[in-house]
Amino acid sequence: MRVPSLTLAVSLFTAIASARFMIYADEWHKTRPTKPEDRAGIDHVILAFAKANSSIASYQPYVPVSTIRQEFPEAKVMVAVGGWNDPGFSDQVVNKDAIKAFARGVGAMIKNLQIDGVDIDWEYPGGNGADYKNITNDKRTGEIPAFPELLAAIRKEIGEEKILSIAVPGKKGDMIAYTADNGPKIWPSVNYINIMAYDLMNRRDTLTNHHTSIAGVREAIQNYINIGAPPEKINLGFAYYAKYFQTDENCTGKELGCKIVLAEDPKTGDDLHTSGAWTFEPNNMNPFDPSKIKDSYDGECGAANMKRCAGGCCSEAGYCGTTAAYCGGGCQHSFGTGCTGPDVHASWQRAAVNGKLDGEAGGKYFYDRQANLFWTWETSEIIDRKFAELVGPYGLGVFAWSLGEDSNDWSHIKKMGEMMKYEGCDE
């Protein structure tokens, strides 16, 4: 397949009367660009996450809103509520009184923080969330009609001048509350529909595939348009991280469609740490000098601080220990002893150099036979194509998860910002 040129991408994108570049800034990856050129084009910053509970009115972001306004003077500032591990929304929609009370809390938070709006990140109304094995989907059917009621109540509370966006699933199987019947009840309340068009392969899958290919993303967009989502409200999501999956067989000649090691506990739904996300941060992207590694005396370890455990494993999170939680998937081989999983950092260095482009599907991938790890990620070339083939023709805005995850060189942000500069693309 011929790859569209940047000129074509620009010509298509300039057809959009109004463009958006929203970005989530999360509390786990706190690094932010210090140079204006590294944040150019971003016009909405969404601070993540406030918990979906009764304390929402008093929520304080990890970084003051005033700081974000200084760093992004032209951007709207919002707060995202919820997130993958937050089950709180279920309690907020048990009845109409609970819905009204939560909406009032959201309104109070907006007023207290003096922000421009709120993003409702419920993953996911109707089921398939992080706790779907403990509370099965058949017990969540009432959330489906309650979801548009919640959004309508929030809109009424915050008024038309404030922004209300929703983060929605990219995989069709997770669109339980997003149906032809329910969609028309949702869209009128919201300004923006942020399609999480990534993690299209995740730990619940069994065969290797792209996690954010052009083909997969196009299907995700079309799924929402098919149920009446207005294209002018849709923002297409980009991921500032790679995904990796451990395979359980030699994938020679079958790198895509290869069986992976079980990645989620079938009884509990817990992450088995045979897969994961690999952010575009300096500690992950760059080789390190072994001579600069020092012994750890405080239990912390890893590439982030270049410290080695005196005994035992250095966990993915950067702490010394000896149990399976420390020595299993993501264990940092160069910073301790006893890791039982593959050396993910070393594998990524090979993937970054030797990655392959699937021109037809539009995705970058690599199968590391040395570590039996399959990698899938997004590149500048694919970003170009997404703007040319999807963003422009459909007339979409864009967003990304997340700001700090691109901190190695801010190259993904700068590429997307570059695409926002052209005539007709600024708000």
Mean pLDDT of the chain: 93
In this prediction, residues 156-181 reach a mean pLDDT of 98
| Confidence check: pLDDT of 44 > 70 | yes
Tokens 């007339």 map to which residue? 395
| Confidence check: pLDDT of 2 > 50 | no
Give 384-394 pLDDT, tens digit per residue: 999 999 999 99
Burial 171-203, CB ≥16 within 10 A → b, else e:
beebbbbbeeebbebbbebbebbbbbbbbbbbb
pLDDT reported for residue 18: 53
In the beta sheet, which residues pair with residue 328?
Answer: none
pTM as predicted: 0.94
